[in-house]
């Protein structure tokens, strides 16, 4: 059973089968996921994509239970490389709270997740008047919310819904094949006074400015490393993670 807003419960609104967003036409938005990538709804729709959104809250038990299903479907339908784009839209949590929810519940290779408090998710929840968690919706390329509340939700149910719109399963496409990579996650992005980095102990980490100068250099001693950005000027940087086998980079924006 979904976790309804306390305010709605106080008003005597019951758990039911009615749509959890009353909108039939999508409201455009631009949000930033945990990896610093921007997502603009209208750009996806203009490209002919469907968009499937998981509205959730980091403190919601049913959201945690259903997160692995969403991840499985995301991977089954091409990891946003096909005709449907998936994103997980958190309600009010910080970068850290959203990240920890994803790590604890979503499984391997989850869909892009957006923090409610710092990634723009709260405004989207408000614009869509989401009334329960989790709520799964589907938007077609014309901007119609063709599924206002896919519930009950399971892998089979969501798969059947997507197939009913002619969407097809596909393998996730990677730009790197058969090459060693570094498991690297960094957040928040944009970052303020500190950057949280997840990388294996022993990984060499460097923050590099746009002219190639290292402004910060450290070695990961634990799985999570905090890089102090207090003396780093505003701007765009590359976070480089290097091991004996591979090197990975991520774009990082510092904004005090």
Checking if the pLDDT of 11 tops 70, the result is no
The confidence band for 168, taking pLDDT boundaries of 50, 70 and 90, is very high
Contact (CB, 8 A) for 82 and 165: no
Distance separating the N- and C-terminal Cα atoms of the chain = 41
Q: What is the CA 208 to chain-centroid distance, rounded?
A: 25
| Closest to 31 (Cα-Cα) out of 51, 15, 6, 14 | 51
Highest-confidence segment of 134-138, 171-175, 222-226, 236-240: 134-138
Q: Tell whether the torsion through CA atoms of 143, 146, 149 and 152 is positive or negative.
A: negative
Beta-carbon contacts of 123 under 8 Å, excluding residues fewer than 6 positions away, are 29
Contact (CB, 8 A) for 72 and 108: no
Checking if the pLDDT of 6 tops 60, the result is no
State both tokens at 63: 């959201």
Q: How far apart are CA 227 and CA 179, in angstroms?
A: 27
Highest-confidence segment of 53-62, 96-105, 222-231, 246-255: 53-62
The confidence band for 83, taking pLDDT boundaries of 50, 70 and 90, is very high
Query: Of 181-185, 189-193, 212-216, 235-239, where does mean pLDDT reach its minimum?
Result: 181-185
- Average pLDDT (222-242) is 91
How confident is the model at residue 2, as a pLDDT?
A: 62
pTM listed for this prediction? 0.73
Looking at domain 185-254, its CATH architecture is Sandwich (2.60)
| Helix or strand run (H / E) with residue 251 | strand 247-254
Q: b/e per residue, 128-139, with b = 16+ CB within 10 A?
A: bebbbbbbbbbb
Overall size of the chain counted in residues: 256
Checking if the pLDDT of 7 tops 70, the result is no
- Average pLDDT (155-178) is 84
The residues spanned by each domain of the chain are 3-164, 185-254
Q: How far apart are CA 45 and CA 40, in angstroms?
A: 9
| Closest to 89 (Cα-Cα) out of 139, 47, 143, 46 | 139
User: What is the CB-side half-sphere exposure of residue 167 using CA atoms within 13 A?
Assistant: 29
| Closest to 225 (Cα-Cα) out of 202, 246, 249 | 202
| Closest to 110 (Cα-Cα) out of 118, 121, 102 | 102
Cis peptide before 190 (omega within 30 of 0): yes
Share of the chain above pLDDT 70, in %: 89
How confident is the model at residue 174, as a pLDDT?
A: 54
The confidence band for 95, taking pLDDT boundaries of 50, 70 and 90, is confident
Domains 3-164 and 185-254 are alike in CATH topology: no
Q: 3-164 has which CATH code?
A: 3.40.30.10
């Amino acid at each position: 059973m979904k976790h309804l807003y306390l305010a709605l419960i106080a008003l005597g609104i019951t758990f039911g089968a009615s749509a959890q967003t009353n909108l039939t036409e999508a409201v455009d938005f631009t949000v930033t996921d945990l990896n610093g990538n921007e997502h603009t709804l209208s750009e996806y729709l203009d490209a002919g994509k469907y968009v499937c959104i998981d509205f959730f809250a980091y403190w919601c038990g049913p959201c945690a239970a259903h997160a692995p299903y969403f991840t499985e479907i995301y991977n089954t339908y091409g990891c946003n490389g096909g005709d449907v784009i998936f994103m997980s839209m958190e309600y009010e949590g910080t970068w850290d709270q959203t990240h920890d929810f994803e790590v604890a519940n979503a499984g391997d290779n989850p869909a892009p997740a957006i923090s409610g408090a710092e990634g723009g998710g709260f405004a989207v929840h408000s614009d869509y008047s989401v009334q329960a968690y989790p709520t799964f919706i589907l938007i077609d390329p014309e901007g119609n919310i063709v599924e206002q509340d896919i519930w009950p939700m399971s892998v089979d149910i969501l798969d059947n819904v997507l197939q009913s719109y002619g969407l097809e399963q596909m393998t996730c496409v990677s730009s790197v094949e058969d090459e060693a990579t570094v498991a690297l996650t960094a957040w928040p992005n944009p970052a303020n006074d500190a950057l949280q980095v997840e990388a294996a102990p022993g990984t060499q980490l460097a923050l590099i400015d746009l002219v190639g100068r290292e402004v910060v250099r450290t070695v990961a001693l634990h799985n999570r490393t905090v890089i102090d950005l207090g003396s780093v000027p505003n701007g765009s940087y590359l976070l480089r993670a290097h091991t004996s086998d591979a090197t990975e980079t991520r774009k990082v924006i510092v904004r005090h």
